[in-house]
């Protein structure tokens, strides 16, 4: 008989410390898998492999995810197939509209309660879907609302792809003014740093570009991956043989200011980031985009325009680069605002004088906090 002790036996202690520390992974979805892996998943569920192709066709080509609509499948197989391949990954919380309904921001809840946002923008002749790649972001750029909340977690391939499919479905259903349409462009400019979730992002690009019915069959040229400048990943992406457009968020041509605006610059400098962008253009023959948010009296001085022009043209003038200036969008708690119109104009003039093709981004969705840098996924 053991001696009675003052402490209760272990199993009656509260289990707080035994809670799993690691977040549950999102359920595995058809869009997470290569076509081979889909066949294996279907076989594992006790069904013939060719059923995977049929479900892929419904999902990617017909934009159907409701098993009831998969009428070429035997009725008793629809549910098991949907369970094996199409678990629900995103739950819409709300959608806000601007520009007469042609800009639509959706707040999504993920399986573990994490919140992310995506934005659909319809222009004459094209539709761009701006997707998130992480819940939150760890890059801490002080002018970006997402950066203020820190990183919650990486998104899975399926969660990334589902944002595009959700947009495609609402377009196909005619929910966006302008009649039924298709997604022509995807930009990784929503929440998160795509290069910090590299494998899932590249796999999602493959799903978008794989020919139907294995993927959406989009052109890689219509897909833009935007990064703060994680140099090793930029070098790696140049070797992937998928010619997506690369955008580098530079925001300052000098390390002193960039260290403040884009803190990862203390790890990879302006020179290193621009060299990696140039290398991407050299290897892929795709013109890269240099993103530059114009912030009044912070980075919009004429001398910085000259310095940026010199920096970019120092790698040659063979059309490897263009500058995309973004008037700063306001974010809560930030004292910074967009540049004066005359300073913006002078900045453009000086860059063009150096021979750098320059555009000023037509910013959509400001009034619904859906513009660049405004996605915080908190607006409930
Ligand atoms: N993390 C990636 C992608 C997300 S942000 C990146 O930084 O590139 C997409 C673009 O919006 C980036 O160029 C980013 O610097 C810019 N941006 C962030 N906050 C902004 C703001 N408040 N106004 C204008 N552009 C902003």
Span 174-202, pLDDT tens digits: 999 999 999 999 999 999 999 999 999 99
Distances (CA, A) of 323 to 221, 250, 312: 17, 10, 9
Residue with tokens 């377009």: 171
In the chain, which ranges are E strands?
Answer: 91-98, 103-109, 115-123, 126-130, 134-136, 151-154, 185-188, 223-227, 245-249, 288-294, 321-327, 358-360
SS3 for 374? coil
Pocket test for ligand 1, best of 140, 146, 155, 189 (most atoms within 8 A of CB): 189
pLDDT per residue as tens digits for the range 323-336: 999 999 988 888 99
Q: Whose CA is nearest to atom 24 of ligand 1?
A: 328
User: Residue for token digits 């970019």?
Assistant: 312
Q: How far is it, in rounded angstroms, from Cα 258 to Cα 265?
A: 6
Q: Cβ of 86: how many Cβ atoms within 10 Å?
A: 22
Residue 118 CA to ligand 1 center (angstroms) comes to 14
Ligand 1 centre distance from Cα of residue 326 (Å): 9
Residue ranges of domains in the chain, CATH in brackets: 30-85 (1.10.150), 117-364 (3.20.20.70)
Digit-coded pLDDT (tens) for 44-93 = 988 999 999 999 999 999 999 888 999 999 999 998 888 889 999 999 99
pLDDT at 133 over 70: yes
Other C-beta atoms closer than 10 Å to the C-beta of 44 total 9
User: 1 falls in which pLDDT band (50, 70, 90)?
Assistant: very low
Q: From the CB of 134, is ligand 1 less than 6 Å away?
A: no
pLDDT at 152 over 70: yes
Residue 260 is predicted with a pLDDT of 98
The DSSP letter of residue 90 is -
Q: Please name every residue paired with 108 in a beta bridge, in sequence order, or none if there are none.
A: 92, 116
Q: Is the CB of 273 under 6 A from ligand 1?
A: no
Q: Which residues contact 233 (CB under 8 A, 6 or more apart)?
A: 195, 196, 198, 227
pTM, two decimals, is: 0.92
Is residue 117 annotated as part of the catalytic site, yes or no? yes
pLDDT score recorded for residue 317:
84
Q: Which of 39, 117, 162, 291 is catalytic?
A: 117
Is there an atom of ligand 1 within 6 Å of 151 CB? no
The best mutation among 131, 195, 226 to test binding of ligand 1, ranked by most ligand atoms within 8 Å of the C-beta, falls on 226
Separation between Cα atoms, residue 104 and residue 121, nearest integer Å: 7
């Amino acid at each position: 008989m053991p001696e009675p002790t003052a402490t209760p036996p272990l199993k009656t202690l509260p289990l707080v410390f035994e809670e799993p520390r690691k977040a549950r992974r999102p359920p595995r979805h058809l869009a997470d898998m290569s076509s081979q892996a889909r066949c294996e998943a279907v076989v594992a569920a006790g069904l013939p492999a060719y059923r995977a192709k049929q479900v892929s066709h419904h999902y990617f080509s017909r934009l159907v995810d409701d098993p009831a609509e998969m009428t070429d499948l035997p009725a008793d197989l629809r549910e098991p197939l949907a369970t094996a391949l199409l678990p629900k990954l995103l739950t819409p919380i709300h959608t806000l509209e601007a520009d007469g309904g042609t800009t639509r921001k959706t707040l999504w809840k993920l399986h573990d309660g994490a919140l992310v946002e995506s934005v659909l923008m319809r222009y004459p002749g094209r539709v761009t879907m701006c997707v998130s790649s992480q819940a939150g972001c760890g890059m801490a750029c002080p002018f970006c609302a997402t950066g203020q909340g820190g990183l919650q977690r990486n998104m899975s391939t399926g969660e990334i792809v589902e944002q595009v499919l959700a947009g495609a479905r609402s377009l196909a259903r005619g929910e966006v003014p302008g009649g039924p349409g298709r997604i022509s462009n995807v930009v990784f400019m929503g929440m998160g740093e795509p290069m910090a979730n590299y494998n899932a992002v590249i796999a999602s690009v493959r799903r978008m570009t794989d020919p139907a019915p294995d993927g959406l069959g989009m052109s890689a040229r219509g897909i833009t991956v935007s990064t703060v400048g994680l140099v090793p990943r930029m070098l790696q992406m140049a070797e992937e043989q998928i010619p997506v457009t690369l955008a580098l968020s530079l925001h300052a041509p000098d390390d002193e200011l960039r260290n403040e605006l884009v803190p990862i610059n203390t790890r990879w400098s302006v020179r290193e980031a621009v060299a990696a962008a140039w290398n991407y253009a050299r290897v892929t023959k795709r013109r890269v985009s240099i993103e530059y948010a114009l912030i009044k009296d912070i980075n919009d001085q004429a001398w910085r325009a000259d310095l940026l022009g010199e920096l970019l043209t120092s790698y040659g003038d063979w059309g490897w680069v263009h500058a995309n200036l973004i008037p700063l969008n306001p974010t809560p708690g930030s004292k910074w605002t967009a540049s004066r119109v005359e300073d913006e104009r002078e900045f453009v003039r000086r860059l063009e004088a150096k021979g750098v093709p320059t555009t000023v981004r037509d910013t959509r969705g400001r009034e619904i906090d859906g513009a660049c840098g405004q996605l915080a996924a908190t607006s409930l």
